[in-house]
A and B are shown apart, each in its own frame.
Chain A
Amino acid sequence: MTTAKKELAVAALRNGTVIDHIPSSVLFKAVNILGIEKLDTQLTIGNNLASERYGTKGIIKVADVFFPETTLNRIALIAPTAVVNIIRDFEVVEKRPVVLPDVITGIVTCDNPKCITNNEPMKTRFHVVSREPVTIRCHYCGHSVTSDKAHVL
């Protein structure tokens, strides 16, 4: 694939959001977390695309939708390398990496079977207690887990 064609793949959107450099293994988890399966706008999902940095990558292109930053940052736990491109009138007007928030709500299940969150209809909540490696702690029972072992909904 030529460089020009690659650029086109990212930019061939009049208006919308492109989320690039998602690790292939978590692409569909990212789709889930963003909740975009319910959208009725034009949507392109690509996976196992060549990536200079990571071997293969996934990409999500959503036409005419501009997500709040907090929504996009929700995928940072599983896809810390993801990059968000905001497209307006075929131009990339903004490009930024996702940023892991301090608190993660409703994405990860607690691995402690005796945790209240696994026994009550409620949202989970985790605090990011370390960023290198990423470690999160359950707000309720206090159990900690590293992000690679975290069970994402």
Chain B
Amino acid sequence: MFRVDENCNFALLYKGFQPMNQSSLVSISDISREEILSLLEQARYFENHPNHKILDGKVVATLFFEPSTRTRLSFETAVNRLGGRVIGFSDASTTSSTKGETLKDTIKMVSNYVDLIIMRHYLEGAARYATEVTDVPIINAGDGANQHPSQTMLDLYSIYKTQGRLENLDITMVGDLKYGRTVHSLLMAMRYFNPRFKFVACDELKMPVEYKIFCDENGIEYTEYTDFSPEVINSTDILYMTRVQRERFTDIMEYEKVKNLYNLHNSMLDGSRDNLKILHPLPRVNEIALDVDDNPKAYYFQQARNGLYARQALICRALGIDVTKLKESDK
């Protein structure tokens, strides 16, 4: 009898909410509407004042169990511009996890040294689990196909900055809407801001049904298209392009058939709105032709730079640094 009781009490202890780690960021859905807006203002502040010594004396770990040079450089630049120091690794093959060390042990070991852990992992749910084994705040820099909240924050900041608002926008998502985690996270984050979505994709890569249910439940208007037509482009404020990858297709003939249908060329923008901006999480291959780059509506390179400011804001959030106070003392 006692053995049974012990078993279930043990389960009980772990079933509820963890007393952890409130300032970690695992998923964009951890952040409320108000907090999103506040973080965007903070990102704007860092764009105007990128260099601060507010992380003086702080050490931040960047643990990249899966390589991602772009994301790592952006985070490490953010820490450096805030005056903090960085330790970490950029590839799991150089760490003890290849010797069979558990994620838990690696996180516990690193927690002894640092004030903040920024981690990317190839397994889904890794960052959530990390928050349960340490008191050090965790920022998820991507966990497999699951979440990548700092990417979403920089997308939101790019939209906010170029449109002057997040509310009531026509947002068109193009390309791989089935596997593209950036479009899924952006869709979920936009639920607070009454967007109208257009989903443009071939049948094999169309928006998964669970996200359409999410839209229905949140009263979000959306329309699906297989044609990347002028009508769609001309009624759009934000054109969010993604890459259509060959390896996503079970039928290679299908890939050959659709691979060029969702490419954007400069001439397709002739009748577009003046305020249209083109976003892309990068790296792009040929889904945006080079002749678009010089169009002032092309925004993907600035978008990547915005990642720095968005990440500075997220780092301050994780460390409990009040950026609004910073502003006051600057005046």
- B1-57 interface with A by 8 A CB criterion: 1, 3-5, 7-9, 11-12, 14-16
Question: By the criterion CB–CB under 8 Å, are A121 and B102 in contact?
Answer: yes
Q: Which of B4, B121, B124, B144 has the most CB of A within 10 A?
A: B124
Cα(A122)–Cα(B11), bound, Å: 12
Chain A residues, Cβ within 8 Å of B102: 120-121
Instruction: List the B residue with the shortest CB-CB distance to A68.
Output: B8
Cα(A102)–Cα(B94), bound, Å: 41
Question: By the criterion CB–CB under 8 Å, are A39 and B8 in contact?
Answer: no
Question: By the criterion CB–CB under 8 Å, are A120 and B129 in contact?
Answer: yes
Cα(A112)–Cα(B124), bound, Å: 9
Question: By the criterion CB–CB under 8 Å, are B125 and A117 in contact?
Answer: yes
Cα(A117)–Cα(B104), bound, Å: 12
Cα(A131)–Cα(B206), bound, Å: 28
- 1/0 per residue, CB under 8 A from A, across B127-145: the answer is 0110000000000000111
Cα(A36)–Cα(B126), bound, Å: 33
Chain A residues, Cβ within 8 Å of B145: 114
Chain B residues, Cβ within 8 Å of A65: 1, 4
Contact A122-B104, Cβ < 8 Å, known A114-B123, A139-B128: yes
Question: By the criterion CB–CB under 8 Å, are B146 and A70 in contact?
Answer: no
Question: By the criterion CB–CB under 8 Å, are A142 and B124 in contact?
Answer: yes
B9, B11, B121, B126: the one within 8 Å of A106 (CB): B11
Question: By the criterion CB–CB under 8 Å, are B125 and A138 in contact?
Answer: yes
Cα(A119)–Cα(B129), bound, Å: 12
Cα(A70)–Cα(B15), bound, Å: 11
B89 contacts the other chain (CB 8 A): no
Question: By the criterion CB–CB under 8 Å, are B103 and A120 in contact?
Answer: yes
A105, A141, A143: the one within 8 Å of B14 (CB): A105
Question: By the criterion CB–CB under 8 Å, are A35 and B4 in contact?
Answer: yes
B122 contacts the other chain (CB 8 A): yes
B210 contacts the other chain (CB 8 A): yes
Q: Which of B7, B102, B125, B146 has the most CB of A within 10 A?
A: B125
CB distance from B74 to the nearest CB of A (A): 24
Interface of B is mostly: helix
Question: By the criterion CB–CB under 8 Å, are B15 and A116 in contact?
Answer: no
- 1/0 per residue, CB under 8 A from B, across A34-59: the answer is 11101101000000000000000000
- 1/0 per residue, CB under 8 A from B, across A131-149: the answer is 0000000111111100000
Cα(A35)–Cα(B10), bound, Å: 13
Question: By the criterion CB–CB under 8 Å, are A68 and B5 in contact?
Answer: yes
A67 contacts the other chain (CB 8 A): yes
Chain B residues, Cβ within 8 Å of A64: 1
CB distance from B246 to the nearest CB of A (A): 20
Cα(A101)–Cα(B4), bound, Å: 18
A74, A104, A140, A144: the one within 8 Å of B8 (CB): A74
Question: By the criterion CB–CB under 8 Å, are B123 and A115 in contact?
Answer: yes
Chain B residues, Cβ within 8 Å of A34: 4
Chain B residues, Cβ within 8 Å of A123: 11, 14
- 1/0 per residue, CB under 8 A from A, across B99-114: the answer is 0001110000000000
Question: By the criterion CB–CB under 8 Å, are B1 and A141 in contact?
Answer: no
The 19 sampled A-B contact pairs (Cβ below 8 Å) are A34-B4, A35-B4, A35-B8, A67-B8, A68-B8, A70-B11, A71-B4, A103-B16, A114-B122, A116-B129, A117-B125, A120-B103, A120-B123, A122-B129, A125-B15, A139-B125, A140-B126, A141-B146, A142-B146
Q: A70-B11, A114-B144, A139-B128 are in contact. List 17 more A-B contacts (CB 8 A).
A: A64-B1, A68-B5, A68-B9, A71-B5, A103-B15, A103-B16, A106-B11, A115-B123, A116-B126, A117-B129, A120-B129, A122-B104, A122-B129, A139-B125, A140-B124, A141-B125, A141-B144
Q: Which 9 A-B pairs have the closest CB atoms?
A: A140-B125, A141-B124, A116-B125, A71-B8, A141-B125, A105-B15, A116-B123, A116-B126, A103-B15
